[in-house]
Structure formats: C-alpha cells, structure tokens
Amino acid sequence: MMSRFKILQSTPTLRLALSGEWLYTTSKKDLRSLRAAVRDATEVEIDFSAQPIVDFAFCAFLLSLLKDKSYTFLNPNAHIQEIFATLEQYPPNLPIDTHKPSALFTFFRDIGLWVADFFQSMMDFLHFFGMSLYYLGLSVLHPRRFKIASIFYHISESGLKSLPVVLTTSFIVSYAIALQGVIQLDKMGVPIMSVEIVAKLCLRELGPFVLALVIAGRSASSFSAQIGVMNLNEENDALKTMGFSVIDFLVTPRILALIITMPLLVFLSDVVSLLAGMLATNVQAGVSFTQYWERFYEYVDITHFWVGIVKAPFFGLAIGLVGCFRGLKVQGDTESLGRQTTLSVVNAIFWIIVINAIFSFFTTTLGI
C-alpha cells in the first residue's frame, strides 16, 4: 500500500487528506513531498477520513512539521488519537546536555566505530563473495543459467571499448620506464641488457599491473554506478519481488566478462609494452629492432609471459566483485552513490596490489 496525500483546500486553511501507509519505512521522497506541502501554511487541517495506517514514528514526524502552526486533526480513529495524545504530553523542553566528551574519549570512540564498521563491511564482502561463487558454480553446473547476451555486452563495454585507453597507458608507462632503464645501463656500458630486463618487467609485472589499474578505475566505478542507480530506482527490489536473483542477473555476467577479457587485454598490453621498450632502446641506445628481437628470443623465456596471463583472471575477479559489491551497498541518495563509487575504485586498486604481491611472493619462492 502506497503513501499518499491529497490537498483538499489550500486557502485560507490548508486541508490535507492522508491515505495509504505512513510508517517509519515510508520513502524519503514521500516525506519530502509532505513537508513541502505544509511548509508555507500557517493553519493546517489533517483529514484522517480515509483511515490511513500510521505509526508512532510518522506521527512524531508530522507533529514536527506542524510545530509553530495552528493545526487540527479531523476524523482520527482511536489508535491515532492515542498516539497524538502520548506525543503531545511528551515534555517539550528537555534539558540540554552541555557535557563535552574528552579528546581521548572521542579518539578511542572514533577508532572503535571505525573498527566495527570495517569488520561489518568485511563480513558483508565475504558473504557477497561466497554468494557470487555459489551462483557461479550453479551456472557452471547448469549452463542455461548463463546470461550469454549480458556477458557479451559487458565484454564489449569492459574490454573492447577500454582498448584505446588501456593500450595508450601501457605504451606511455612502458616507454618511460624502459627509457630510464636504458639510460642507467648505458652509463654502465651494457645498454643491450635493457632488452631482457625491460621485457621481463613488462611481461611479468608492468603489463598486467598497469592494465589492471586502468580497468579498476574504469570498470569498477562503472559497475558500482550502474548497480547503484538501479538500487536508487528500486529496480533491484523489483527483481527480488519477481523472484529473480540480483547476483545471477547483475553480478555474475560482469564478473565473467572481466575474467574472460582480462587475459586478452593483458596479451595486447604485453605486445604494446614490448614495442614501447623496443622503441625506447632504439632511440636512446641505438639498439636495432633486429638486435632487440634476437636478444629477446634468446634471453626471455615464455614463462614470464604466462605469469602475467595467469594473474589476469584474478585481477578481473577482484575488480568485478568489488565493483558489484559497492554498487549493491548504495542506498538512500546520490551522496551514497558517489561515496560507494569512490570506494569501489580504492578497494579494487588495493586488492590488485595485494594479489600482485601474493603472486610475486609465490613465483619468487618457487623460482618461476
């Protein structure tokens, strides 16, 4: 049942007729509309003839709107009369607490609140991660659950359309780092060694890592904004009402799209990074393209390429999970949307760094 009111008379006395449900769960939009309707009136009559369903919280809100105004309640039932009688008997002038907590107390209180919020957010994310893996497993067991059209759409949005910025960023960063490496090795008299050093760095770390950072800034924020707007428009609630799973329809296709596209993007990023390194060594040290590729073929093993490729799906999984999780956390207003979108980028970059560090530790330990 919806919350509704109707203006029966505007002058000289504003008369409003309430109907439907007016409870503590009433949307902010309806409450703002009611506040706007009575804001400029000095005399107000509230008609309860339609027998609206109200609770204590709404009646308290209504009295706060009618403060300093002349008001009359028409045709209230016994329940409504009892609520307003209780509220009107409440002491209007409560003593004001002038005690200010100490700086030390405030400091530890803020730390405690932050820890509690962090722990709750971590538990929510673990729950979301488990649900996502569960629905992903169901889709693998029952391939008909895959939303093929949605997956290909997000592959196009997150993969193909991100190619220009991804490849440009990879080229610029790789060229700058390769140039600095060549300069230092040229001073030592061994500029040719920059070929394998830069190539291994690009294949193992630079290509996948820079690519993941760019995708995190692009796709994580995009996922959060898209799902967050759906939350604000109550589209996700509509999906749940119809018996559909939000994770099945919104989360799984986005995660799968990134898991599929990240290795392909890493491959292209590696190619561009190697070309940038080749150009830098040629410009700075005069190493010909033929020498570069001969040195590369002789000293750079295919293992370095596969290390970067294996990282890519994990980067995609982390970006997709964080982006969708933060989007589903949006609630209330557009301020929440901006806050969660910002957090999605920050969290995604953090998890990319953690995953990259874990891979570096294990590959170094195993001698790969």
- In 3D space, the residue among 202, 209, 203 whose CA is nearest the CA of residue 181 turns out to be 202
Sign of CA dihedral 22, 27, 30, 31: positive
| pLDDT tens-digit map of 26-73 | 888 888 888 888 888 888 888 888 888 888 888 888 888 888 888 888
| pLDDT tens-digit map of 257-272 | 999 999 999 899 888 8
Domain ranges of the chain: 3-88, 134-366
Q: What pLDDT is attached to residue 14?
A: 85
| Secondary structure class of 100 (helix, strand, coil) | coil
Q: What pLDDT is attached to residue 209?
A: 87
The strand pair at 14-22 and 70-74 is best described as unpaired
- CATH superfamily of the domain spanning 3-88: STAS domain (3.30.750.24)
Q: How far apart are CA 238 and CA 340, in angstroms?
A: 22
CB 320 within 8 A of CB 258: yes
H helix count then E strand count, the chain: 15, 5
| pLDDT tens-digit map of 304-318 | 889 889 999 999 999
Question: Which pTM does this prediction carry?
Answer: 0.68
Q: Which residue has better confidence, 160 or 313?
A: 313
Question: C-alpha distances in angstroms, 148 versus 153, 245, 288, 360?
Answer: 9, 16, 47, 34
